[in-house]
Chain A
Amino acid sequence: MKVSLVTNILQANERIAEQNKRLFDEKGILAINIMSAPGAGKTTLIEQTIRTLKNEYRIAVIEGDIQSTHDADKIAATGVPVVQINTGGACHLDGNMISQTFDQFNFDAMDLLIIENVGNLVCPAEFNVGEDFKVMLLSVPEGDDKPMKYPLMFYESSALLINKIDLLPYVDCSIEKIRTESWQINPDLAIFEISAKQGEGVDAWLDWLKIKINEKANSK
């Protein structure tokens, strides 16, 4: 017997992600899912973002890593609530892993939830976790061929932060090429050039993010 299904293979995750999203929507919390290759500077960016915004907004962080609490320790030092998820080998976060952290947060005292995904340019793009949007970080030492090699990442993201631009004189990477090819995959992508470590360009990203946080808070 033939059974016709036409079912999304990841429907189980989609359902949990939608439940998570409903909770964030009810509470007016902006949830962002930050993705990149390992070592692109996600944690440094998050630390910078927290330091600048924490007096204005109530921020919390979920850290995803295969192992260790290294990143959560760094975030904890900034004074905001943080929960570390160790995926124990899984190369991405999914909706269920996120919902399992919920009993450790007070969602009535939160404006922005930053979710740092596992460093990986393929799988995290496939699994929604309930975020309002995805943000991708690409550091210039990784090279300018990434949009063509990992298009789903660029397609799924709302913002692309080109990081470590202070290293541009030393690496073979064309920002122009990244911009052109990223916009070919996703014409609506907001692109920022930053150095999360030195602070260059970070203000433009934060201004953009603040607008999104305020919009979300007002939509409640």
Chain B
Amino acid sequence: MVESFLPIILFTVPIVGILFVFMFRNIPIKYIRELITLLFQVITLIIGIIITSEVFQGKTLTAANKAFFVDGLSVLMIVLVNVSIILITIYSIKYILKEKELGIISEKRITLYYSLILLFTGTMMWTVTTNHMVMLYVAVEGTTLATALLVAFYRTRASLEAGYKYVLLVVVGITLALLGIVLIFSAAVPHLPEGSHALLLTEVGRISKLIPSNIALLAVVFMIAGFGTKAGLVPFHAWLPDAHAEAPTPISALLSGLVIKVGAYALARTVTIFTAQHHSIIIFIAIMASAGMLIGIFLAWAQDDLKRLLAFHSVSQIAYVFEGLGLGTYMGIYGGLYHLVNHTFFKGLLFLSAGCIMYATRGKRKISELGGLASKMPITAFCFFVGALAMGGVPPFNGFMSKFTIFLAAGQQKLYWAAAISIFTSFLTLGCMVHAGYLIFWKKPAKQVASSNNPEEIREVPFLMWGSMIVLAGLCLLLGIYPQIIHPFLDKATEAILTIWGAGV
């Protein structure tokens, strides 16, 4: 372990960026706020890459008396978060500008938008570098608060409701997780030498075998419920479709790509510590995940609203991540993390495509009102299908590789029923996405819609928007064809989880 100040700088840089956005917002340079936001995000990414190279040399960085701790899993999350958030910000520039031109939002709110994105980046960096169990709770709450006002950004009735529901449900859930954390902590204190920091995840991991099993199981149930709420695991997913549907579309991509992953990350950090001793946790998570997959996909088939449809797919897909992480084996955790990364890319891509459709058609998002867009928006159509096929698990896209790993890992643990449900859900996902894509891009639009909207108006979106989508689509293909690129990251991250609970590899 090496003491380093980099983890602290990592999360303070975006927070300092907020000050700059506010200070320079009135300077008469076009896109000044966007540029400052991007500048600070790029700086964060560069610091993240420096940290990554340190970790890849076999070091683990700690800061502030081990309160911050960067290992393979943190590095994976740092790079993933920064890359996708930069793409989402680039996409936002034109999207938010158009909202302003249409009079949906005011000039002031654009400043708020970018500062909240920076705040979210900061809290996210804090979440993935903290080693302190209670601070993990505080940081996860921080990500909720940073995105709450983004969900309610339009201040329409529906979006305010969605924001209220989001904050309330997630906060209640995370409070349950806090109770679990407190129980674990108090059970760990007597087994630690005097004066050591029992609240540190690394310390708890070492003595996890000494914690009485009743306390451990009770705490794990609380933590699964708590972090499951944040991740949108069924039956705690009620906030997810509303928040995803009512937020501005780039924020939907952010919610689906990153915010719900916080729950999975926290689960990987805490609950997996106990899977080695208690086989019942593996079964419990597998049941929850299977229920989540099925309910998510059935509800997705029932949607007409494109964004709600994608939101329910998130409910279904995050269950794959949970299943993988919950298996507690090297292969399971590897598959879960791989799917976590892939889901960020393909779901981000799908939400951004939905955003392009709304951009071009002036906010239409009902599938029944859309149709025949393929000829007018070829790049969007291409990107949408890359995302759809990746999510459906078609080779050679990335979704196939990660899902296949999870199927194999479930089989390895003799959970054949769970593997069967995952494969079945995968087919349904593919069907649902291809069906939706067909209706949006090739089917002739309904008559009344065609007459009310001049079809000549619909054009391909500006370069900044499709450019960031093409990058995401490229990543989806690249990670599917050359998984070797992402393998060192995933290997390090999986090892990090296994090392914490002492299993080692």
Judge: A and B partners, yes or no.
Answer: no
Question: Which residues of B are at the interface with A, using a C-beta cutoff of 8 A?
Answer: none
Question: Which residues of A are at the interface with B, using a C-beta cutoff of 8 A?
Answer: none
